[in-house]
Each structure stands twice: as C-alpha cells, then as structure tokens.
Amino acid sequence: MAFDKRWSGSMSAGADGVFISSSTLMRMPSDVRELIVAFVVGHQEGPGGDTDVGKTSGVSDASPRNDTSDDDGFADLTPRQARRYIAGCGERTRAAIEAIARSGTRYFQVKDVAAAVGVAPHELRGVWGGLTRRVKTVTGDADAYLVYWDGSEPVFDDAGTYVDQRGEITELTHTSLRKALGL
C-alpha cells in the first residue's frame, strides 16, 4: 500500500506502533480502512507476534491443526469482501455459507452444511467447488481457498460413504461473514 501524503499530518509512528486519528481513518478510501481493520483484527493477541497482515497467529479452538499462517492461499475475507462474496453466490452456495457462518467458531461440520443445503454430505462436491471459485474471484487470487480441511479426518459410515468432517475458515473470514449476513 503506497503512503499518501494527504494523511501524513494525522499519522505518527511510535515505539509501540502507528497512530492514526479517527478523522484521518475516515478520510481514507474504504478499501484502505478495511485493510487497517483486518490488520488490527489479525493482531488481537497482542504485540510481539510475527503474523502477516490479516492473518491470525493462533487457533481459538483446543484442537490442533497444521499452521497455515504462512499460507497465502487461505483467504482472509474482510467485511467488504464477504459482502461481495455473498452477493455473487447462488442459492445452494449461500445456504452453505450461512451454515458455516452460523457455527459458533470458525470451525464447522460438513453434515451441518449438507443439512442446510438439503443434500447428503457426499453430494456437496459442486458446492465446495462453487465456494472456491467465488473466493478466487473476490480476492483476485488464483491460489485462494476458503476452507481448510487438513486439520481433521473425514468420517465414513459402515458402507464407506462420506458422512462428515470438520472444516475451518479463518477467524477474520468467520467474523466478516457473520457481519455480512447480520448474524
């Protein structure tokens, strides 16, 4: 992000960070404001972390997962991006997004998404493809993905049919989707 001299009189740097007055922040373009908010939300755990802008540095769930903080493809949607994401979704994709966002945390169960869409979990392949295509469009990143699956094993019934799995989205994406959906 390029530094704009219009804002220099209302910004200062200190040993503990950068100060931006609220009036200066409100004069900035909305995309710049959202980047700043994403940065702040991504660093709620306090100073000293070495996380990237918009990336969370910890997991808010007791279950361990592989660290994806250095994975540029794991999408961190801002509230504005979440609104754009939802606006371009079809009915089934929107139902899936709502089920994911209704989860109390950034973790969700596939069986809950399947129930919201009205199909069996093993029939969600097209929905997952739609979610991924949409996040690539909204972020402009050909490597972007919305759901991280490697943190859990798929569950199969006695007949070998896929019935459930835990997926996760980033904390920022979860918060942004909930806000965009009014949850």
Q: What is the pLDDT of residues 106-130, one digit of tens each?
A: 999 999 999 999 999 999 988 998 8
Cα separation, 56 vs 42, in Å, equals: 5
Cα-based angle 144, 156, 143 (whole degrees, multiple of 5): 5
DSSP 119: S
Residue 96: both structure tokens together? 């899936």
Distance between CA 117 and CA 46 in Å, rounded?
38
Query: How confident is residue 26, by pLDDT bands cut at 50, 70 and 90?
Result: low
Please report which residue ranges of 17-124 form alpha helices under DSSP H: 22-27, 30-42, 79-87, 91-102, 110-117
145 — phi, psi (to 5°)?
-145, 150
pTM score: 0.61
Q: 181: left (phi > 0), else alpha (psi -120 to 50), else beta?
A: alpha
The answer to whether 43 and 31 are in contact (CB under 8 A) is no
- 21 vs 55: which has the higher pLDDT: 21
- pLDDT (mean) for 176-182: 94
